[in-house]
Each structure stands twice: as structure tokens, then as C-alpha cells.
């Protein structure tokens, strides 16, 4: 790491196994996968969401929790099938819809980190998620 980068290590709880690395896309708003994400394009489509029209493809998606219908798990699975899914997800606290979808889709997911990820991680930070160990590395560029 150069002088203009800083690494932060966060520890949390594994929800869905695996490892993923990519640039963060961060929101303080909950995400409804059923009504809020287009699984064919991998884009947030909720007209009231701050991430409207943003791509989640190959991103580390950081959000407080999911919301909405249990069919959201199916949308997460479709994202993975369509190769339009995030490489990993980080929640403040995961609820069952996002947990089930991530496990079935094979998307690494962690939550209950020792610091609020929506405050520590910024959109564009490079993030490495090792869900198996419950460790998130955040590389911030100066």
C-alpha cells in the first residue's frame, strides 16, 4: 500500500460463505430486491432509492438490511444466475430474505461488524470480504 492508502479491518458474522472483492456501493437505505432491483440488468430501479439507476454488478453492496417480500430471495438468486449480482454483500443486520437469497445464490454475506459498515465504508473503496472468517478489509484511497 502506498502512502495515500489506508487499510481498515472489520470483523463480523458470516451469513453466507465465500470470498468476494470489488469496489463498494454504499447506501444508508434498506433495499427491497423484489421491487427495487432489476435482476436482468443488475441495477437499482426503486424510484425512491438514493442508488436509483446504479449498477450492483461486481460491486460489494453495503446496506443496512433488506426489506419487503420473501420473493426478494428469488431475485437475489436470479441476479447470480444472470451474472448481474454483487460479488459480496455487507449488512448492518441481515434479515431472513437477504440471508436466504445470498446463501442459495452463493453470494458472500457478512453482518454485525464491529463498526457500522455504512459509516466506515464509502462508495468506491476497495473492499475484500472473507465471509468464511467474518473479516472485511477496506482499502481507502487518499
Enzyme catalytic residues: 69
Spatial distance between the Cα atoms of 57 and 9, rounded to a whole number of angstroms: 24
CA triple 140-136-21, angle to 5 deg: 75
Answer whether 44's CB lies under 8 Å from 20's CB.
no
Please report how the helices 72-81 and 96-105 are oriented relative to each other, as an axis angle in degrees rounded to 10: 20
- Cα 42 → chain centroid: 13
Amino acid at each position: 500500500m502506498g502512502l495515500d492508502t489506508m487499510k481498515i479491518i472489520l470483523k463480523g458474522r458470516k451469513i453466507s460463505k465465500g470470498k468476494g472483492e470489488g469496489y463498494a456501493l454504499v447506501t444508508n437505505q434498506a433495499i427491497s430486491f423484489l421491487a427495487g432491483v432489476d435482476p436482468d440488468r443488475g441495477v437499482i430501479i426503486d424510484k425512491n432509492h438514493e442508488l436509483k439507476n446504479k449498477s450492483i454488478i461486481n460491486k460489494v453492496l453495503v446496506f443496512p438490511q433488506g426489506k419487503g417480500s420473501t420473493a426478494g430471495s428469488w431475485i437475489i438468486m436470479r441476479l447470480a444466475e444472470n451474472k448481474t449480482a454483487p460479488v459480496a454483500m455487507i449488512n448492518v443486520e441481515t434479515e431472513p430474505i437477504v440471508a436466504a437469497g445470498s446463501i442459495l445464490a452463493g453470494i458472500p454475506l457478512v453482518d454485525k461488524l464491529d463498526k457500522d459498515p455504512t459509516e466506515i465504508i464509502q462508495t468506491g473503496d476497495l473492499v475484500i470480504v472473507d465471509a468464511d472468517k467474518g473479516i472485511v478489509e477496506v482499502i481507502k484511497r487518499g
